[in-house]
Amino acid sequence: MDFKMLGPSQSVQQKSNKLIIKTAEAEAHITIYSPSVIRVNITRQPAGADESFAVIREPLAQIAYEETAEEIIVKTSALTLRISKSPLRFAFYTPGGELLSKDDDRFGTNWQNSRVTNYRELQADEKFIGLGEKVGNLNRRASSFTNWNTDASDHTPKTDPLYETFPFFIGIHGAVTYGFFLDNTHKSYFDFGASCDDQFIWLGAEDGDLNYYFFGAQTVGRILEDYTWLTGRMEMPPLWSLGYQQCRWSYMTAQEVLDVASKFREHNVPADVMYCDIDYMEGFKIFTWNNETFPDPKAFIDKLKAMNFKLVTIVDPGIKVEEGYQQYDEGVERGYFATYPNGENYIGEVWPGRCHFPDFFREDVREWWGAAFTALTEPGVEGFWNDMNEPAVWNQNMPWIVKFGDKFMPEVRNVYGMQMARATYDGTRKILGNKRPFVLTRAAYSGTQRYSAVWTGDNTATDEHLLLGARLVNSLGVSGMAYVGVDIGGFSGNPTPEMMVRWNNLGIYTPMYRNHSIKDSDYREPWQYGEENLGLIRKFIEDRYRLLPYLYSAFYQTTQTGLPVCRTLAIDYTHDKAVYYEDYQNQFLFGDGLLVAPVISTALTAKVYLPCGDWYRLSTGEKFEGGKEYEVDAPLHDMPVFAKAGAIIPQQNVIQSTQDAGDGILEIHVWNSTEPSTFVYYEDDGDTYNYEQGTYHKRNITFTPASKTVTLSSVEGGYTSKYTQIQVVLKGFEEVMKIDMVDNANDEIVIEW
Ligand code: GLC
């Protein structure tokens, strides 16, 4: 095996906004994206195309540097990059000179044949969070991971890799933080001191460049803001998709879907979404409907609509090899499928049997795919579930010689799912006109948040998976993906009634709340577990609907700052080591003000850690001092959730669907505190893109304990709130107090008590 070190600098040169340092082996290209984001691309193919699926920003026009005999120094207001020339090594510091992260002096960057790896110094107390959909602990230290999008059905809480690739992590040591994004789509590796006597971390890829973006902001939140500035943020999701979603593999007929939907209404269990898994199609052919079981899709969806339900249908990438099937014929005729090097179309087997796979890397193929959704949108589908896009073929092993245009499978496998989601999003957005499509994908790469939500694939009905799900959601959140769900109840296996109850309680605090299960499993709808459990699950779902004004505002925050909806405590309490303890690592903030402590179904008490500040148990109002561990009750009807002192939680009355008008009252729950606090309230029509033209309703809600007031600033935006009245509810005060209702005027409103 050919082994090459990066070697010493031979020349330093500035070409417009790029600093180019050449060694005998490679070139390092340094560009500045913002004062806190610097890119280093160490490449052996400097003339190659410089393309990224993730990054949507351009570097700044200027780069300035100083040079001495030993060093090159690049300084911005937020970062100092010191590059030692011999051998060429990179070290990042704060402007004050505190070390953030640097190459390992001995090994730096090197190659074994095409494989490139980078060795980085490990600090004694260093912790790592992120890498997206990865099992294991919140703190990734002493663990190693591979990125290779995989159909990981039957995965365990130890399986790696899973379905998605987010080669981005945040390092934390001393009082500092930094972010690191390796934008390389090949199979990649991250080892956080797992296999080298804690001497260094190492990361790299099978091929391609050591192409990374270094983030120097000094809070996790601001690093996320920069990372999502670079790779994009999600847009406002359709409000209906934040309601309860009911799925199953599969409801076999239109009548069965309708029966389940009407049962929700009969049982007064709020719900918004029904799903069709693969069996709605004819022979699993994408963009078809089974004539016998779904004979009149439009009439069927009209009936769902009349019950205030939306429908989401699944699409897989595999196009069945069958003459006379439109997508097959067109794809073959136009050469839209992945091929072998001799030009033959690749064939792999998935649900429909032998399939071809669209080359989603081509714009014309994406357009063709996107336009085909009329088969689903014309009858009324508004949500599009993209599955099997790792891409999955039976036995997993898509041959390495399969080509997508001029690229071989190993180069682009990790982005295939993202490009499918992109084609689906672009296409359905166009077809639906001004309506927001809901797109969900299983495989993803950094930047997928621009197109789609993700779920964590085929989990299992165990308590371990319940807790793992919370960690996966939180880890995806610190990797740019805020809109995430897990299969509530566990996809495989059958949950006990207690597990189903507990998992639904956690589900209401998950960005996407979907109940889904494997073929031939027991039915999972809320009424399958007896009257008493139905009552509990109904109550949780009602709580979810009450919280929608709060949740929708949290999503708005994500669209503006990249801060996720479910936030590991490592975001706000980064330097508090208790948040990384295994006992507490599953806890998270849901939006700004609620702390959720997931608990397994067999435990009726829980150890929780409340970080600094005061907290109140949401269900009882009991007050707790932060910075401490507690053993608290966790009965099945009440998983521990705490409101932060000063939390402002806008709520509404219980409705059966987001399409219900409700009673028009916005209840603003305010949790007592000695300090003032503010919440950014956001509302729009929930359904269209009119908000992009200013048709939204946004105001700050400020609680000022000293003056005993809640103030709503005057409204920004041209949307008229659906709430005509406002009622402040004081919690954690001597007694719960409901203050007299006021009209929801657009001018400033001051509510006193
Ligand atoms: C995959 C998906 C699962 C789906 C099934 C059938 O296993 O992960 O959610 O139900 O395929 O389409």
Over residues 486-540, the pLDDT tens digits come to 999 999 999 999 999 999 999 999 999 999 999 999 999 999 999 999 999 999 9
Active-site hit among 316, 359, 387, 683: 387
Residue 395: the pLDDT is 85
Share of the chain above pLDDT 90, in %: 98
**What Å distances lie between residue 249 and 453, 487, 519, 528, CA to CA?**
19, 12, 5, 16
Active-site hit among 226, 272, 382, 390: 390
Question: What is 566-644's CATH number, 2.60.40.1180, 3.60.21.10, 3.50.50.60, 3.40.50.970?
Answer: 2.60.40.1180
Q: Find the 267 Cα to ligand 1 centroid distance in Å.
A: 28
390 lines ligand 1 (CB under 6 A): no
User: Hey, what amino acid is at 411?
Assistant: E
Mean local confidence (pLDDT), 216-228: 98
User: Hey, what amino acid is at 214?
Assistant: F
Beta strands in 183-266 (DSSP E): 188-191, 200-205, 210-215, 245-246
Rg of the chain taking only CA atoms, in angstroms: 26
151 lines ligand 1 (CB under 6 A): no
390 is catalytic: yes
**The residue to which tokens 């007050």 are assigned:** 623
Active-site hit among 277, 382, 411, 458: 458
Q: Find the 198 Cα to ligand 1 centroid distance in Å.
A: 39
278 lines ligand 1 (CB under 6 A): yes
CATH of span 243-320+362-561: 3.20.20.80
**What Å distances lie between residue 499 and 506, 520, 523, 532, CA to CA?**
10, 19, 14, 14
Q: Find the 131 Cα to ligand 1 centroid distance in Å.
A: 24
Share of the chain above pLDDT 70, in %: 100
Residue 2: the pLDDT is 97
CATH of span 663-752: 2.60.40.1180
153 lines ligand 1 (CB under 6 A): yes
pLDDT over threshold 80, residue 383: yes
pLDDT per position as a tens digit, 239-251: 999 999 999 999 9
103 is catalytic: no
Determine which residue's CA is closest to atom 7 belonging to ligand 1.
458
pLDDT per position as a tens digit, 672-695: 999 999 999 999 999 999 999 999
Mutate which of 151, 249, 390, 460 for ligand 1? The one with the most ligand atoms within 8 Å of its CB, which is 249
For residues 728 and 414, give the distance between their C-alpha atoms in angstroms, rounded to a whole number. Answer: 49
pLDDT per position as a tens digit, 324-333: 999 999 999 9
Residue 720: the pLDDT is 98
**The residue to which tokens 């910075």 are assigned:** 627
Q: Find the 313 Cα to ligand 1 centroid distance in Å.
A: 12
Tell me the β-bridge partners of 99.
Answer: 93
Residue 458: the pLDDT is 98
249 lines ligand 1 (CB under 6 A): yes
Of 510, 464, 511, 509, whose CA–CA distance to 490 is shortest?
464
- Which pair of structure tokens corresponds to residue 659? 């399409």
Mean local confidence (pLDDT), 433-462: 98
User: Hey, what amino acid is at 287?
Assistant: F
Q: Find the 216 Cα to ligand 1 centroid distance in Å.
A: 40
Fold of 3-231: Immunoglobulin-like (2.60.40)
DSSP 474: H
DSSP of 498-536, one letter per residue? Answer: HHHHHHHHHHTTSSEEEE---TTSPP-SGGGGHHHHHHH
User: Hey, what amino acid is at 431?
Assistant: I
pLDDT over threshold 80, residue 735: no
458 is catalytic: yes
78 lines ligand 1 (CB under 6 A): no
Q: Do residues 167 and 54 lie in contact, with contact meaning Cβ atoms separated by under 8 Å?
A: no
Of 180, 183, 181, 230, whose CA–CA distance to 209 is shortest?
183
Mean local confidence (pLDDT), 151-156: 95
Beta strands in 403-497 (DSSP E): 403-404, 407-408, 438-441, 444-445, 453-455, 484-488
pLDDT over threshold 80, residue 379: yes
Residue 548: the pLDDT is 98
For residues 12 and 85, give the distance between their C-alpha atoms in angstroms, rounded to a whole number. Answer: 10
Cis preceding-peptide flag for 391 (omega within 30 of 0): yes
In the chain, where the domains are located = 3-231, 243-320+362-561, 566-644, 663-752
427 lines ligand 1 (CB under 6 A): no
Same-fold call for 3-231 versus 243-320+362-561: no
277 lines ligand 1 (CB under 6 A): yes
Residue 396: the pLDDT is 81
- Which pair of structure tokens corresponds to residue 151? 């159909």
